[in-house]
Amino acid sequence: MKRFFVLACFVFVSDAFFAQNLVTVDEGDGKTEDIALPEGMVVSEEELMDDYVNKENLKPGTSVNIRDLSYDDSVIVSRLSRIPTTIEMPLNNVTRKFIDTYSGKMKRSVAVMLGSSNFYMPIFEEALEHYGLPLELKYLPVIESALRPAATSRVGAAGLWQFMINTGKKYGLEVNTLVDERRDPVKASYAAAHYLSDLYAMFNDWGLAIAAYNCGEGNVQRAILRSGKTDNADYWSIYGMLPKETRGYVPAFIAANYIMNYYCEHGIAPYETSLPQESDTVVVNNEVRFSQIASVCNVTIDELRAINPQYRRDIVPVGYALRLPSSAIESYINNEIAIASVTPSDGTIRRTVTQDVAETNKSKNRSRSSKRSRSTSSAQGGTQITIKKGDTLSDIAKRYGTTVSKLKTLNGMSNNNIRAGKKLRVK
């Protein structure tokens, strides 16, 4: 049975709403409480537009219907119940106000995120599917980062999934001078799915697991103890014991699921994004700068930054994966040596750090290759590997110096799904 946490209505000071990053809850009897908004709900519309919107094709006033389309609670409840998920999504005064925020004041921000979601949601879904998690968790980055991989929070969390450095490293994300894999859309998504899987195993309740993703498992465990609900705790039963931001976190997640499914009913249409419709990755054999790639491959530095946000100084070290629009892949492969020899736009060429990173990466690749897969010659004269648990097509492509598209073509695959124990041709 769904539990409804009874609160009186929110009190908004509309002009200061986003500036303060708080919402005030009237608890009755003259008492109020401030709840902090998740990071992804306080990103300005202008900042989102600058990151993603293809402004050359934008027709102001036509992409988002500015009419206020509001619905009775019974309609919202019915819509939430039709979202196919095992995660409880109740409507109450808290979740309703977050829904009203997304469908009202944040309409244009939602339109921007809808445009960029075409690029990111398949990545999220693949990672969640790999760990057998509810696909509705793909909307967590909406409230974490507003789908901005370059986002950094006030406390130092980074990327679409807002990993702190220690947690990121615990789940295999590398952070060094040149690379911050917390901002890598693919690797961070798999790390987040792994972390969420661990949290659910710990709490056996998705509301608590999602809350713990925001404030840490220790804070949730302490809230459970203070509530006295040690045997049957759920998010709403310990709501009052949680940190302020976490009190808004699960309601915001429910609201994000609602608006990303029912945006049309609120007069919202996606903006056209500047992200490529199709992209693929190649492993670089020579250190390369974005300016060198842009000079040959008919792609801009800004486009490279948008789809390779993990490279902190616009430098891709040897052995790392570079994502390119699909239209630029062939050009890069055919001109890789020439691209590396182009003088960078700043006139400098790095040497010593490159060699260090290259040697480290080669050592890692040898270790990973020996531990995770065995190569055998196929009857056709190619090379097969045995897929290991945790392998992805992207990881395998990087390991064998090829692309995801080539692996799929070589194996007659129509999607990116692979299974441990199966054979995969890599050459």
Catalytic positions: 144
Q: Report H helices in 228-264.
A: 244-262
Given a contact cutoff of 8 angstroms between Cβ atoms, the answer to whether 143 and 42 are in contact is no
The residue behind tokens 């390991």 is 399
Given a contact cutoff of 8 angstroms between Cβ atoms, the answer to whether 128 and 138 are in contact is yes
Q: How far is it, in rounded angstroms, from Cα 249 to Cα 103? A: 17
Q: Report H helices in 92-158.
A: 93-103, 107-130, 140-145
**How many residues are there in the chain?**
427
**Dihedral pair phi/psi, residue 156, rounded to 5°:** 100, 5
Q: How far is it, in rounded angstroms, from Cα 90 to Cα 97? A: 13
How big is the chain by its Cα radius of gyration, in Å?
23
The residue behind tokens 């897929």 is 387
What is the three-class DSSP state of 60?
Answer: coil
Given a contact cutoff of 8 angstroms between Cβ atoms, the answer to whether 92 and 4 are in contact is yes
**Dihedral pair phi/psi, residue 424, rounded to 5°:** -140, 125
